[in-house]
Amino acid sequence: MHALERLTVVIVTYNSADVLVSLLDSLRAAIVPGADVVIADNQSRDGSPAIAKAHPLGPRVIAMGRNAGYSAAINAAMDLVPSENAVLVLNPDLELQPDAVNAMMRRLKGITGIVVPRLVDPEGQLYHSIRREPSLLTAWSEALLGGEVASQLGLGEVVAERRRYERAGPVVCASGAALLISPALRARIGPWNEGFFLYSEEVDYMRRARDLGFDIVYEPAAVASHVGGESNSDPDLFALLTANRIRYYRSCHGPVSAALFQLAVVTGLVLRLGQGTIHNRALRAALTLSQGRFAPRPQ
């Protein structure tokens, strides 16, 4: 049996009509005919489910009936996947190069955990997708120096060293835009954490994978183009990203460390209040966490 016949592709859509056809077209060129594709739709209002059903790839479409969040939609799709299948979780705003899936599947044969690809922007420029585990060092470095400077110095959460993106090998964490998950990990790790409506759910999932002894491996021969970037321009999404960064850190650290992490995030936002409303909204979200409330979920 061909390796790709043991693959299921899972895509979560939410008003993804503008990008979905490009992804499905690239998948059609990258996987064997008849490979299983499941789309979980979070009550899109732009016709995304109809676009998916009409595509020649023939994906199965699950209607969530509400905007249930990224993790909940993945879990609903995973429930339909045979236990022996690897699962490739994809954001809808991706386009895969023709050999990307094959390259990831080849790499998965040598490990038991997760494979992540090389991501580029629509112009083909490298997207810094490798991450460090969030820490007090990364949080305070980004707060005081700014994310870009901290990353260039090797102190931020984003790994910006270009040479690291030229070789395959284990990583601590990576963007959740594209993850190939082994059957062995699926059998051990359980569902995605639905407490994270959007953002930080992949950080939580990869930490749990590492804690179970599984590898996360970066494969530069697998290339995908990623649009992304909405969280840096949409105030509500940036607020949710900010709140979930703090919530994630709280979930795996003690109260003193968690308070210092939150203070770092708040400090960074205060220092950038003059840069636009996006930081104002995120600051409110970060501060309301202290009162037991969270940023509103996008609808």
DSSP string of the chain? --GGGGEEEEEEESS-HHHHHHHHHHHHHHS-TT-EEEEEE---SSSHHHHHHHSTT--EEEE-SS---HHHHHHHHHTTS-TT-EEEEE-TTEEE-TTHHHHHHHHHTT-SSEEEEEEE-TTSPBP--EEPPP-HHHHHHHHHH-HHHHHHTT-SSB---GGGGGS-EE-SEE-TTEEEE-HHHHHHH-S--TT-SSSSHHHHHHHHHHHTT--EEEEEEEEEEE---GGGT-HHHHHHHHHHHHHHHHHTS-HHHHHHHHHHHHHHHHHTGGG-HHHHHHHHHHHHGGGT--PPPP-
- Residues 251 and 118 occupy one common structural domain: no
- Residues 213 and 277 occupy one common structural domain: no
Q: Token pair for residue 296?
A: 């509103």
- Residues 278 and 189 occupy one common structural domain: no
- Residues 122 and 251 occupy one common structural domain: no
Positive/negative CA dihedral, 25, 27, 28, 34: negative
Contact status, residue 71 vs residue 194, Cβ threshold 8 Å = yes
Could you identify the residue written with the tokens 């009409």? 54
- Whether the pLDDT of residue 231 is over 60: the answer is no
Exposure on the CB side of residue 113, measured as CA atoms within 13 A: 22
The answer to whether residue 86 is domain-embedded is yes
Provide the mean pLDDT of the chain. Answer: 91
- Structural domains of the chain, count: 2
The answer to whether residue 166 is domain-embedded is yes
- Residues 242 and 180 occupy one common structural domain: no
Tell me the pLDDT band of 219, cut-offs 50, 70 and 90: very high
The answer to whether residue 120 is domain-embedded is yes
Domain end position, chosen among 197, 228, 259: 228
- Residues 175 and 135 occupy one common structural domain: yes
The answer to whether residue 11 is domain-embedded is yes
* CATH code of residue 26: 3.90.550.10
The answer to whether residue 299 is domain-embedded is no
- Residues 100 and 145 occupy one common structural domain: yes
- Residues 247 and 223 occupy one common structural domain: no
The answer to whether residue 257 is domain-embedded is yes
Domain boundaries, position 271: 232-291
The answer to whether residue 298 is domain-embedded is no
- Residues 70 and 209 occupy one common structural domain: yes
- Residues 244 and 194 occupy one common structural domain: no
Q: Token pair for residue 46?
A: 């732009």
- Percent with pLDDT over 70 in the chain: 92
- Residues 210 and 90 occupy one common structural domain: yes
Tell me the pLDDT band of 5, cut-offs 50, 70 and 90: low
Q: State pLDDT tens for residues 70-129.
A: 999 999 999 999 999 999 999 999 999 999 999 999 999 877 899 999 999 999 999 999
- Residues 124 and 218 occupy one common structural domain: yes
Q: State pLDDT tens for residues 282-294.
A: 999 999 875 444 4
77-97 b/e (C-beta count within 10 Å ≥ 16 → b): bbeebeeebbbbbbbbbbbbb
Distance CA 165, CA 153 (A): 16
Domain end position, chosen among 181, 210, 228: 228
Rounded to two decimals, what is the model's pTM? 0.91
